[in-house]
Structure 1
């Protein structure tokens, strides 16, 4: 319209409305998606951290030195989680909440995987050893989806001041 087109002409120049709708939904979050993703799920992050701490404590109390594989997984996951928490504190609330929500579940998953991988490396593979190789494949799919949502969320957050 800044080029002198009328509103109907400007709308017509965009093309097929269904295609425009699909393109916008791939690029930006819808209002319902944005509302869902902006929920504050920090309690889930803290719950996962408490679960990891409890699991690590039980490994020390019950397993002692024989639980070095799973304990390595817990310590590494807690270290990564603390680092991520520090890095994400400065992000916008909606983005931080979404990433912490996703990261909490991944850290518990990673903790178990690393414990099982260390056990397998030490010669005592878990009875379901195929999961040690399958989980990284699942993570790639998970990270691609999280990255897609984060890109859409950043674009949408940039629009908020101008819309």
Structure 2
């Protein structure tokens, strides 16, 4: 297998900055091996299975699609509208606990916006796309939790614990994705 063929598989779908960086590193490795007396196919074979290398690189760097994802602001604003609508409907039906939960979520939304606005656009889009649904989820959870605390638990009370577990999973996954994006953007000088 030639280095060109190996690189096509190993670097497939990675962001351009990661592809450029890794191409230079693998090319230098193959050149060093060929200087040591190996042929190109032998030198390329020392790089390992390109599909496995691709999986490992995707755990380290973001893909081109991840960096181009622009869903953050759309999802963010839709979820804020849902939270505000939920809060207004709670006021209309005189459900003070749910209205306060929605107001609390909107205050947290303002704080989240302040925290993510300085991030590079791809990272900000990821964080907003994840935080929007979390805020709506939090609104429901807070209302149900306060109801349970006041002695009127919802009939599906076990969901209160399940939602907190879901938040931890969301947080871990989102932070891993954001770290990969920041690392990739740093390679291209866009961070």
Same fold, TM-score > 0.5, yes or no: yes
1:33 is matched with 66
Q: 2:90 aligns with which of 40, 51, 59?
A: 59
2:159 is matched with 131
Quote the Cα distance in structure 2 between the aligned partners of 1:83 and 1:11: 50
1:11 Cα offset (Å): 4.5
1:53 Cα offset (Å): 1.2
Task: Report the TM-score, using the length of structure 2 for normalisation.
Answer: 0.73
1:78 is matched with 106
Correspondences of 1:1-163 after superposition (within 5 Å): 1=28, 5=32, 6=34, 8=40, 11-35=44-68, 38-63=69-94, 67-161=95-189
- CA shift in 2, pair 1:42/1:31, >3 Å: same
What 5-or-longer segments of structure 1 have no aligned partner?
none
What 5-or-longer segments of structure 2 have no aligned partner?
1-27
RMSD value over aligned CA atoms? 2.3
Quote the Cα distance in structure 1 between the aligned partners of 2:100 and 2:161: 18
The DSSP-based 3-state class of the residue aligned with 2:156 is coil
1:87-125 CA-to-partner distances (Å, cap 9, x unmatched) read: 111111111111111100000000000000000000011
Aligned length: 157
- CA shift in 2, pair 1:158/1:10, >3 Å: farther
1:16 Cα offset (Å): 3.6
Name which one, 1 or 2, has greater alpha-carbon Rg.
2
1:31 Cα offset (Å): 2.1
